[in-house]
């Protein structure tokens, strides 16, 4: 008989929790089923029992916490694990798309004669991905996470198909926007499904699988991107349709086991469409300003100033609107009364810059400064990615074993900021071994933040806002990524291009250098100029990135210690 798991209440010495237990198991410890201790238990803001460092607080009970929900799906353990792997594969597609396209962008933009606007291949995807994530979180309340998952996968695959068939640059960017819309939903929904399938204490183990898919995508993306552009860049998008088939087949087979909870008191008219519009205009204006500044328009031009003023003014408008107007706000401001939700939001927003900056711009560094080929430059991201995978998995195991996430966040915050700061030394003057050690240190720190921030946010809130908090945690990382990519791209492109324009010998090759295409075929003196120019630009970008990451480090130190059960 196959072992079947279900959620079972477990009373231990100090706290009451829920855990996955075999229904037909033999010899369970009867002591685990005795009455709860009569000792007074600390109460969190949500009314749940929380272990803290020698302090006892009480508060009126709020909504039923997630640990009190007996509706975790009952399925054999192998089905549970296979389902999670399939969800991870679906999420892997969204991450793989980003990493493949990051490598192929110069080649794709060159074919459409749009090198100066190549960043829009990524930004059009990231904008819709980010802006619509809160909407997908709300949509799961309306029609269920299972249904939304398949809608998002279909949208992503449709966008990928249109990208593969694109005939011009505008078509491509529009298709990328459609793909980003679906990918943003996938990112949110698979995490919501995870929260509905296992208890928060067990979640660390499964989030490790989800974190691994991000790292694997970061490893394979540059390699596949370099391979595909050598014969047909359109395979960067065809691959999404190929890989999705087995994952979807498994999910369809177990479709009835996937949670599909809805909130019957919510209707489509309750969706915060006004907030969605304000947020979309706000993010687009800020990204346009950073993307165009110094390249299309001067920084002191009326266009750039207007975009920045409108963008940042709308941030304030959005917050006031969300508090005052909608019945069901896109981002409920009340959830920020939980300290860990606030610190997680800040942490994710600012630390995203370090992760994305290293991943996106490091291959170009090795092509232009170290004169490596495109495929080799993709491999040189591994000293950063492999330690990130290690500590991301390790952090999940630590949280599952100890029940505490605060220490993991502290280590991650310190390691991420220190490693990012050390990458300022990358300028081509130090031995490669030294550069690889610096990348290893940065990856170790970043990995501790991959999943621990999400668990920290979930540790304090009741189930009725769990999906919203999970969405907010992921959305803040995506939003930070969009803003930081625009900022980093503006810094490195402006400084690199300005330096090349000041050097007559590099002028005939400026487009090839900006595209980082076949740099090894250029005259030796031009390669030297490119190495010096890009090395200096990369350093300044990392200085700005380190400053940008600092508030995230401070937020990690402010995290409240909570016992996960």
The DSSP element (H or E) to which 562 belongs, if any, is none
pLDDT band at 52, cuts 50/70/90?
very low
Q: Is the pLDDT of residue 18 over 60?
A: no
Percentage of the chain exceeding pLDDT 90: 18
Residue 9 has pLDDT above 50, yes or no: no
pLDDT at 523: 86
Q: Which residue has the tokens 């000041």?
A: 502
pLDDT in tens, 62-120: 333 334 344 555 567 777 777 777 788 888 888 888 888 877 887 888 888 777 677 78
Q: Residues 345-371: what's their mean pLDDT?
A: 83
CA dist., res. 68 & res. 228, Å (int): 50
In this predicted structure, what is the pLDDT of residue 401?
A: 83
The predicted structure's pLDDT at residue 480: 86
- In whole angstroms, give the CA distance from residue 500 to residue 515: 13
Q: What is the pLDDT of residue 203?
A: 65
> Which carries the bigger pLDDT value, residue 59 or residue 555?
555
Q: What is the mean pLDDT of residues 128-134?
A: 84
Token output for 490: 């503006």
Considering the entire predicted model, what is its pTM?
0.71
What pLDDT is stored for residue 19 in this prediction?
Answer: 38
pLDDT reading at 56 higher than 60: no
pLDDT of residue 162: 95
Q: Element (H or E) spanning 9, and its range?
A: strand 4-11
Query: 109-123, 221-235, 437-451 — which is least confidently predicted?
Result: 109-123
The 10s digit of each residue's pLDDT in 269-323 is 778 889 989 988 998 898 888 878 877 788 889 999 999 999 999 999 999 999 9
pLDDT in tens, 487-529: 888 888 889 888 888 888 888 888 778 777 667 778 888 888 8
- Residues 226, 228, 230, 234, Cα dihedral to 10°: -130
pLDDT tier at 27 (50, 70, 90 boundaries)?
very low
Q: Helices 77-111 & 339-368, crossing angle to 10 degrees? A: 50
pLDDT, average across residues 31-41: 35
Q: Is 155 in contact with 182 (CB distance < 8 Å)?
A: yes
Within 10 A of 187 (CB to CB), how many other CB atoms are there? 25
Q: Look at residue 316 in the predicted model and tell me its pLDDT.
A: 94
- Give the residue with greater pLDDT, 465 vs 524: 524
> Residue 456 and residue 441: Cα distance in Å, rounded?
23
CA 187 to chain centre: 8
**pLDDT at residue 11, rounded to an integer:** 39
Instruction: Determine contact, residues 139/284, Cβ cutoff 8 Å.
Output: no
**Whether 232 contacts 387, CB under 8 Å:** no
Domains annotated for the chain, with CATH where assigned, are 1-70 (no CATH), 72-272 (1.20.1250.20), 331-565 (1.20.1250.20)
Comparing 8-22, 102-116, 443-457, the range with the smallest average pLDDT is 8-22
CB atoms within 10 A of CB 199: 20
Do 466 and 46 contact (CB within 8 A), yes or no? no
pLDDT at residue 364 in the model: 83
Mean pLDDT, residues 33-53: 36
| Angle, alpha carbons 331-126-155 (nearest 5°) | 85
Residue 63: per-residue pLDDT: 34
26 by Cβ neighbours in 10 Å (0-12 / 13-18 / 19+) ranks as: exposed
Tokens of 133: 């994530």
Tell me the pLDDT band of 334, cut-offs 50, 70 and 90. confident
Reported as type and span, the H/E element at residue 380 is none
Per-residue confidence (pLDDT) for residue 74, from 0 to 100: 57
Average pLDDT value for residue range 144-160: 89
Of residues 262 and 239, more confidence is placed in 239
Give the pLDDT of residue 152. 92
Highest mean pLDDT among 220-224, 299-303, 437-441, 461-465: 437-441
Closest alpha carbon to 358 in 263, 446, 286, 292:
446
Cross-strand pairs, 16: 11
Alpha-carbon span 237 to 243, nearest angstrom: 11
- The CA-atom distances, in angstroms, between 140 and each of 28, 146, 206, 241, 461 are 37, 8, 21, 24, 18
Cα-based distances in Å from 390 to 377, 393, 440, 450, 484: 22, 5, 11, 11, 25
With bands split at pLDDT 50, 70 and 90, how would you rate the model's confidence at 254? Answer: low
Cβ neighbors of 405 (< 8 A, separation 6 or more) are 399, 452, 455, 456, 459, 559, 562, 564
Closest of 50, 215, 193, 189 to residue 561, by C-alpha:
50
Q: Which two tokens stand for residue 255?
A: 């479709």
- Which string of b and e fits 270-306 if b means at least 16 CB within 10 Å? ebbeebbebbbbbbbbbbbbbbbbbbebeeeeeebee
* 454 touches 175 (CB < 8 A): no
How high is the pLDDT of residue 209?
A: 67
Average pLDDT of the chain, as a whole number: 78
What is the pLDDT averaged over residues 354-378?
A: 80
The tokens describing 379, both together, are 């491999």
Residues facing 9 on adjacent strands: 18
In angstroms, the Cα distances linking 327 to 136, 137, 548 are 17, 16, 34
pLDDT in tens, 158-186: 999 999 999 999 999 999 999 999 998 89
What are the tokens at 528? 């030297």
Tell me which of 359 and 487 has the higher pLDDT.
487
Residue corresponding to tokens 């990012």: 420
Which pLDDT does position 69 carry in this prediction?
42
Q: How far apart are CA 361 and CA 234, in angstroms?
A: 22
User: What confidence score (pLDDT) does residue 174 get?
Assistant: 94
Give CA separation, 199 vs 87, 432, 504, in Å: 17, 44, 63
């Amino acid at each position: 008989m196959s072992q079947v798991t279900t959620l079972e209440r477990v009373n231990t010495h100090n706290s009451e929790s829920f855990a996955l237990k075999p229904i037909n198991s033999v010899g369970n410890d009867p002591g685990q089923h005795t009455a709860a201790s009569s000792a007074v238990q600390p109460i969190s803001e949500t009314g749940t029992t929380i272990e803290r460092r020698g302090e006892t607080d009480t508060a009126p009970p709020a909504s039923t916490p997630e640990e009190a929900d007996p509706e975790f799906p009952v399925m054999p353990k192998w089905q549970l694990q296979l389902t999670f792997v399939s969800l991870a594969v679906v999420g892997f597609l969204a991450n793989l798309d980003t990493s493949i396209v990051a490598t192929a962008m110069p080649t794709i933009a060159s074919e459409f004669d749009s090198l100066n606007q190549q960043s829009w291949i990524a930004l059009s995807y990231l904008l819709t991905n980010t802006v619509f994530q809160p909407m997908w979180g709300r949509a799961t309340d309306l029609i269920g996470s299972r249904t939304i998952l398949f809608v998002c996968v279909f949208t992503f695959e449709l966008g990928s198909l249109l990208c593969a068939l694109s005939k011009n640059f505008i078509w491509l960017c529009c298709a990328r926007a459609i793909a980003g819309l679906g990918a943003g939903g996938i990112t949110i929904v698979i995490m919501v499904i995870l929260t509905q399938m296992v208890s928060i204490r067990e979640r660390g183990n499964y989030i490790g699988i989800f974190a691994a898919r991000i790292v694997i995508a970061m490893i394979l993306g540059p390699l596949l991107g370099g391979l595909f552009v050598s014969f047909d860049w359109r395979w960067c998008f065809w691959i999404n349709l190929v890989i999705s088939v087995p994952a979807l087949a498994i999910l369809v087979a177990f479709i009835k086991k996937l949670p599909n909870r809805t909130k019957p008191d919510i209707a489509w008219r309750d969706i915060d469409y006004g907030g969605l519009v304000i947020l979309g205009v706000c993010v687009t204006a800020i990204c346009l300003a950073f993307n165009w500044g110094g390249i299309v328009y001067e920084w002191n031009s009326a266009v750039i100033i207007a975009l920045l003023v409108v963008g940042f003014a709308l941030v304030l408008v959005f917050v006031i609107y969300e508090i005052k107007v909608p019945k069901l706000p896109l981002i409920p401001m009340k959830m920020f009364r939980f300290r860990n939700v606030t610190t997680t939001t800040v942490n994710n927003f600012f630390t995203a810059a370090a992760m994305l900056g290293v991943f996106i711009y490091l291959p170009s560094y090795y092509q232009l400064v170290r004169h490596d080929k495109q495929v080799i430059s993709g491999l040189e991201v591994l000293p950063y990615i492999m330690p990130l995978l290690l500590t991301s998995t390790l952090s999940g195991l630590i949280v599952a074993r100890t029940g505490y996430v605060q220490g993991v966040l502290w280590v991650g915050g310190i390691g991420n900021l220190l490693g990012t700061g050390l990458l300022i030394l990358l300028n081509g003057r130090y031995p490669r071994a030294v550069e690889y050690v610096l990348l290893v240190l940065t990856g170790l720190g970043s990995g501790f933040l991959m999943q621990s921030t999400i668990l920290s946010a979930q540790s304090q809130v009741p189930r009725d806002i769990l999906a919203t908090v999970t969405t907010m945690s992921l959305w803040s990382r995506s939003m930070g990524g969009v803003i930081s990519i625009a900022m980093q791209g503006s810094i490195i492109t402006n400084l690199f291009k300005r330096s090349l324009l000041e050097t007559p010998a590099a002028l005939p090759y400026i487009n090839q250098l900006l595209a980082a295409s076949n740099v090894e075929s250029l005259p030796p003196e031009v390669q030297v100029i490119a190495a010096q120019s890009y090395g200096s630009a990369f350093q300044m970008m990392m200085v700005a990135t380190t400053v940008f990451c600092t508030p995230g480090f401070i937020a990690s130190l402010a995290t409240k210690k909570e016992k996960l059960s």
